[in-house]
Amino acid sequence: MRLHRNLCFTVIDSLMAIFNEGAYADKVVALALKKDKRWGSKDRKFVAETIYEIVRWKRLNTPVRRIKGKFDELSKIRKFKESIPDWMDEIGVEELGEKKWSQEIAAQNKQAEVILRVNTLKTTKEKLRAILIDDNIETEFLKDYPDALILKERANVFLTQAFKDGLFEVQDASSQLVAYYLDVEPGMRVVDTCAGAGGKTLHLASLMKNKGQLIAMDIYESKLKQLKTRAKRNGVHNVEFRVIDSTKVIKKLHEKADRVLIDAPCSGLGVLKRNPDSKWKLKPEFVENIKKTQAEVLENYSKIVKPGGKLVYATCSVLPSENQEQIKHFLNSVHGFT
């Protein structure tokens, strides 16, 4: 393809916004793709992929490329090879060991695939697959993920009528497993305590077949507003929205829920594939502080579970200190849970 000036300038402006103004890469890319209505799919692909790749490999985009021999030498060192800050490499090795961390960070540097979660309130995997083929979007089933379709080639699925009709959401495969751990049934009272924009809430609603009570909570009202819009599109009507603006909101629910999900705030070290810019924005002190938040959230929100109920704690981090260690600490300090 011929490289037009406006494509290059868009990429440069976007990188300036990400690195100099602290803007989030996904928001910047979304804006960049709206810049010129004349762009075709190849142009848009070039813009999105170039921005993400430069952000992802920032540490290798240095002048060392020009120094003969130096590049080969540096590219054997993991923090350069995988393009991550020193502190992140240190914490990864400390918590996971050399071998596991090397595998993990290499996987995190691959391009994220586009994975859909079929909205089973409205359709089936088979039907959705056929509908998308009519839009020239080919998908495949994903083994061991009951509601997932994976795109063979990247495409802007949000423009399809199937998306507008609420037949699917875009949701990573690992994220699609979380709702299943809650083992919900229609008619239960289920609370999603850190619902955010609600990918997992919507999945829970479909597993509950829209029956029972699903309470979506978050400290940010703006996120719950997004969830309301998504719920409407998905045909979900068993969700109540509650902003956590005081401790009363939690106290009212003490020992009232059959199932509770704590999708805790975290470092995001398991989703760098999706958010490569957070490699450069994340600070070690944030990781330390978020662990304290996780412990508090676990202790406070676990009180919502009624005797005989179930609590699921999830993060999108790969660090044991944010996962297994938090659970160990919780079980040692809070009684009544196994």
- Which of the residues are catalytic? 316
d(CA 62, CA 75): 12
Tell me how far apart the alpha carbons of residues 207 and 185 are, in angstroms, rounded to a whole number: 7
- Whether residue 83 contacts residue 55, with contact meaning beta carbons closer than 8 Å, is answered with no
Please give the C-alpha separations between residue 242 and each of 194, 199, 269, in angstroms, as whole numbers: 11, 16, 28
Amino acid at 87: W
Please, are residues 315 and 294 in contact by the beta-carbon 8 Å criterion?
yes
Q: Which two tokens stand for residue 76?
A: 């054997």
- What does the alpha-carbon distance between residue 129 and residue 151 come to, in Å, rounded to a whole number? 10
Residues belonging to the chain: 338
Contact call for residues 149 and 114 (beta carbons, < 8 A): no
Dist CA 325 CA 155 (whole Å): 39
At 334, which helix (H) or strand (E)?
Answer: none
Q: What is 193-257 written as a DSSP string?
A: TT-TT-HHHHHHHHHTTT-SEEEEEES-HHHHHHHHHHHHHHT--SEEEEE--SHHHHHTTTT-E
* Cα(304)–Cα(247) distance, integer angstroms: 12
Phi-psi region of 258 (alpha: psi -120 to 50; beta: other; left: phi over 0): alpha
Let me know: does 176 contact 119? Beta carbons within 8 Å.
no
